[in-house]
Amino acid sequence: MRERKGFKTHEPGECSVQLTQAIASQYVKELKKEFSTKTASEISYRMPLKRMIESMTNKKILAQVETKEKSDIQLFLRRQATQPHSKQLGTIETKTIETKRRISKLTELVTKNSAQLKKYLRNEPTIMFTNYIEFAILELNPETKEIDCVQTVKLVPAKNFKNRKIDPSAIEHKKLEKLFSNFIRKTNTITPITTQKMLACRLASSAKELSESVIDRMRELKKIKQKDIKNVNEPIYVFYKQYRHLTKTEDPKEIANAFGQTISCGLFLAKLNGDSNHQNFRLTRNIAAANIPREVPVIKNMFQSIENCELPRTLANTITQIIDILNQTDIDKVKDESPDVFLYFYEEFLKAFDKKTRTRMGVYYTPIEVVNYICEKVNTLLKNEFGRSFGFGDASIRTLDPATGTGTFLVRAIELGINENNSSGGGGGGHEATKKNY
């Protein structure tokens, strides 16, 4: 079995797993009861699985179950009372027990759903996959990019499951206990994120999930009566109204994508600032707004609105997932790649989020060396060819950038203007004149 290197999160002790024969037998009994109805679907078996997980961990692991067909089961490691926010631990992707009147084979389900599973594994290094009687720990092989079944357990053989009575001794509860222990150990061990590209890919994947959740929520909001919608004050609806007013768009996908990107990049900005100002900084949803600079009031106000707001569960979970990704990021190593990581991060992020949108919007950053060369060349031309002795710092010069992006050209032009004024005795009006020129 492949082992992953990484560092442990600071959680309140280990979570032990004890799956007794009685708990496993009760779980199988509940499965069979649902199975016997002949109308059970994938989601019908989720509550028995939830009860088994919480019983065998003495409720230190909380299994959150959604009642939507496309949803999965999220596991949360319960923290102490002094730490009210649970840490998202892992995902269990579920498929139905029976397909075309026969018990599904897990290996066949892995092959059939490989595209979907690879999508999950790009965001989470380890997931669990099950048809409720077979369980597997899946990881993405870093070399082949194919799915590895790291560990598999068949709780009860398919032929026995269809029998009226199952011999308790045929239930492999100890093997399943070992698999769950291994899964919890793996998912509670974090591999640090050390590069911009790695961070961009992980954040973009979660941002896509967030956008999909926003679209679902917007559909739900559309069903609310017109007279009642005026009283809705949740962040998604407020963002929807403001974005629609600014851009004149009615496209829900565009609005949802904008929301997902704003939340992801806003949390990244909060993490950068928090790490700069505090030792051992750990980001949470409740302190994000306080760590976003007042120079970006739109984003700051947005996070203030979600601090204590009760968001829909899927949205809250995905935001927690993004925060967990940022807290496992080695910000110092990410910042080593460029002098101002936030200026250059968005291109990499948008490339991973939606390559077509990045191309359509023309989001490409210019390397800082090229920016410096162009700005210094223009500064020299202003002085030598146009008689503006202070270059960008001359009071008569107005500098416009119609495609500002992250503002690297304007920032360098301002720096040159200030330097010209300082080195030449301030003939162009110093800092004050320079600021007015841009």
Tens digits of per-residue pLDDT, 220-274? 877 775 656 555 667 777 787 777 777 777 788 888 888 888 899 899 999 998 8
Domain final position from 361, 388, 419: 361
Bridge partners, residue 136, by sequence? 129, 152
Residue 2 in domain? no
CATH number of domain containing 124: 3.90.1570
- Of the given ranges (53-57, 160-164, 176-180, 299-303), which has the lowest mean pLDDT? 160-164
pLDDT tens-digit profile of 274-307? 888 888 888 988 899 999 888 788 888 888 888 7
Residues 177 and 260 in one domain: no
Residues 155 and 13 in one domain: yes
| Domain of 390, in residue numbers | 368-436
Residues 235 and 124 in one domain: no
In the chain, what is the straight-line distance between the N-terminal and C-terminal CA atoms, in Å?
Answer: 59
Q: What is the DSSP string of 76-114?
A: EE---TT--SPEEEEEEEE--SEETTEEPPHHHHHHHTH
Residues 346 and 207 in one domain: yes
Residues 173 and 219 in one domain: no
Helix (H) or strand (E) holding 130: strand 126-130
pTM (2 decimals)?
0.58
Task: Give the three-state DSSP class for 92.
Answer: strand
Question: What phi, psi does 91 have (nearest 5°)?
Answer: -125, 135
Residue 15 in domain? yes
Q: Which value, to the nearest 10 degrees, does the dihedral of the CA atoms of residues 325, 327, 328, 329 take?
A: 90
Residue 210 in domain? yes
Residues 39 and 140 in one domain: yes
Report pLDDT for 58: 82
Phi-psi map region of 430: left, alpha, beta (phi>0 left; psi -120 to 50 alpha) = left
Question: What phi, psi does 330 have (nearest 5°)?
Answer: -85, 90
